[in-house]
Amino acid sequence: MKKMIQFAFCCLVLLFFSACSSLKITTDYDRSVDFTKYQTFDFIELDVQGAISELNQNRFIAAIKAEMEKKGFKLDESDPDMLVNATAIIEDKQSVTADTYGYGGYYRPYRWGGGVTTTNFDVYEYKTGSLIIDVIDASTRQLIWEGTGNKEIDTQVKDPDAAAANVVARIMAGFPPVSSTQGKIRL
């Protein structure tokens, strides 16, 4: 039974990938860095907070590797220019709403009765998943780019490999960033 619960919890991570339309993405980077000087990368181990399965860890790593290679970077385990770190976080959350119903009380200048009100509280429990991808300059060990995807976990996905690739591609869409002097045509 315990293994079944653990398996179900690990499957919840896959839910993070589903319904990407509600995926909230934020990115930030060091504007003083010239990203054109980087050509190679390697990984720092995936940090997991909230227990995701090894299968999902491998999906994250494979998706990030594929995305980096699509962008023209090469994996170099001996002397990389950049280090990539991924952190996956699964959290239990609660949302409380209150609905108040009543009758009686005041109406303009007139008052009648004492009035009766009732308040109903609804507690909604859910999970949120976050994937944080950090890119670090290997020589200085300084963070140069960070992308984060956050999502409420609500359904299970049919193809977790494709979903992982889609989420990573959306998070890394702005990597490498184009600086204010790159990519502009001057007339």
Q: Which residue has the tokens 């990407």?
A: 20
| Run of H or E including 69 | helix 54-70
Instruction: Give the tokens for residue 47.
Output: 């940090």
CB 121 within 8 A of CB 113: no
Number of structural domains (the chain) is 1
The mean pLDDT value for 98-105 works out to: 65
| pLDDT(28) > 60 | yes
Range in 14-18, 39-43, 85-89, 137-141 with the lowest mean pLDDT: 14-18
> 159: domain range?
19-174
Is 3 within the bounds of a domain? no
Is 2 within the bounds of a domain? no
User: What's residue 49's pLDDT?
Assistant: 60
The model carries a pTM of: 0.69
Is 153 within the bounds of a domain? yes
Is 24 within the bounds of a domain? yes
| pLDDT(23) > 50 | yes
Condensed to tens digits (0 to 9), the pLDDT of residues 60-73 reads 899 999 999 999 99
Is 130 within the bounds of a domain? yes
